[in-house]
Amino acid sequence: MGNARRFAMIPGPKPLPIIGNSWRFALGQKPWRTKSLDATLWRLRELAGSGGAAKVAKLFGHPDLVFPFCAEETAKIYRREDSLPYRAVAPCLKHYKQELRKDFFGDEPGLIGVHGMPWSKFRSKVSKALASPEAARSAVPCLDYVAEDFVKKMESLLDENSELPKDYLTELYKWALESVGAWALGTRLGCLSNDDVAAKDIIRSIHGFFHSVPELELSAPLWRLYSTPAYKTYVDALDSFRSLCLKRLTDKGICASIAKVSGEKVATILALDLLLVGVDTTAAAAASTVYLLAKNERAQRRLQGELDKNLPAGRILNSRDLDRLPYLRACLKEALRIKPVILGNGRCIQSDAVISGYEVPKGSHIVFPHYIMSNEERYFPSPEEYVPERWLRDAKHQSDTEPHTVDVCRRQRVVGIHPFASLPFGFGRRMCIGKRFAEVELQLLLAKIFHKYDVSWRHGELTYSVTPTYIPNEPLQFTLKHRDKRCQ
């Protein structure tokens, strides 16, 4: 600590008296825009320079934010945290759970937006059912039914040019919502049927929820003074999710087993949290992976070769089938490296620390910008290129007829893959508790799509709004062509 530089020396945008830095996001001037937070992070990376860290101080309702752009620093911070790691407080969600709907939540606050002992107690009631590998593996058959139904529906959505419709992203939201309902609530929600008015309302709520979060959390907290439009959208969405979970809780699924032990209230609150983190993010991951494979014919052909060799015909898939698809898993990892569904994770440190050579006081919020690190040359050679082979440990699987791919893999082996350079699901006790289920959902959907179709992209570069979840700006009009009849 004696050799560390002062906290005030950490570079970053200069806050103004009284109004701090919130005005930047309120005005939305580049690069301080709530819908392009990726550009914000790249600007902070420039400011960090060789020092490796930047900060954004004086945001209304938030502690100072410190961004260490270094995988080693990320590892040190994660490894020094205690058994009750604190994430940054989400003022709006805290207000909803602990004040606005306190009569419902009471002393069962859930997992999202909660910290310390209340979070730990709730987690102890649900972690065994959610976190074990066996739980996700046992959910494969029911998720396979959902994926199969969705791929069949995709066929009916194709136009005369074999192109998917402009609202295909909404269809992916329906698939993700139906999947969460299948494994968490133990029921089919009906999102993939033609009569899906209720599902559309839920999808609208999901959109509204995630679009309102950046405005409420980063801009001036006017919602504390009066009900702003974004605040109303936010609350209405949460109320809709809560109502859905109350109505559709069954005697099957993960939440049913939790209800038997800890009561229906705990199960309902868990289901609500799973909806908040498991629909928008999973749909975004599916969209990005399909897009990257559609743009990379070499990788797509290699994936299809693996699927042709290992996927059984005429029966529902199980976890052992997925175990035989290492290249599929590599395709997903590479997509989440290039386009992680969220830009970073964070911790609110509970003691003074030295981070990237700077003194950082207790209570500061440390943001791990894994989106930046996973797209930097020092960690991933040729970071802009989609090369799933870089994730294959066995060198014989990295051989390729394309010299450039071989070269990228060779350089990656020299550098190695730092375990903290790409963390799309976070790390430690507060890692995404539905990680295993999300991976299974995505693997099943991708396997079925690319086993049945050749997928191509006829349009320009796909761009995103980052809020902080990745949301494609352009329609996902992929072109699907049936493969050989042997592969269907």
Binding region for heme: 432
The distance between the two most distant Cα atoms of the chain, rounded to a whole number of Å, is 70
Q: How far apart are CA 67 and CA 47, in angstroms?
A: 11
CB 405 within 8 A of CB 330: no
Contact between 325 and 307 under an 8 Å Cβ cutoff? The reply is yes
Q: Which residue has the tokens 């086993």?
A: 451
Instruction: For residue 368, give the nearest of 67, 52, 51, 88 by alpha carbon.
Output: 67
- Residue 347: beta bridge partners? 366
- Which distant-in-sequence residues (6+ apart) come within 8 Å of 338 by Cβ? 288, 292, 374, 375, 383, 384, 386
Give the position of tokens 């819908």.
35
Nearest CA among 220, 293, 272 for reference residue 446: 293
Q: Residue ranges for the binding site?
A: 432
Q: What is the rounded (10 degree) CA torsion for 57, 58, 60, 66? A: 20
Structure tokens at 149: 């139904």
Rounded CA gap, 434 and 361, in Å? 32
Helical H runs in 227-279? Answer: 229-248, 253-262, 264-278
- What does residue 426 show for φ and ψ, rounded to 5 degrees? 80, -165
Alpha-carbon distance of 73 to 159, in angstroms, equals 50
Q: State CA 259 to chain mean position distance.
A: 26
Query: CA 70, 40, 12: angle at the middle one, nearest 5?
Result: 70
Residue type, 317: L
C-alpha separations of 369 from 2, 66, 72, 421, 443 in Å: 27, 10, 13, 9, 25
Q: Is 31 left (phi over 0), alpha (psi -120 to 50) or beta?
A: alpha
d(CA 455, CA 106) in angstroms, rounded, equals: 49
d(CA 415, CA 151): 39
HEC secondary structure over 315-336: CCCCHHHHHCCHHHHHHHHHHH
C-alpha span between 269 and 262 (Å, rounded): 11
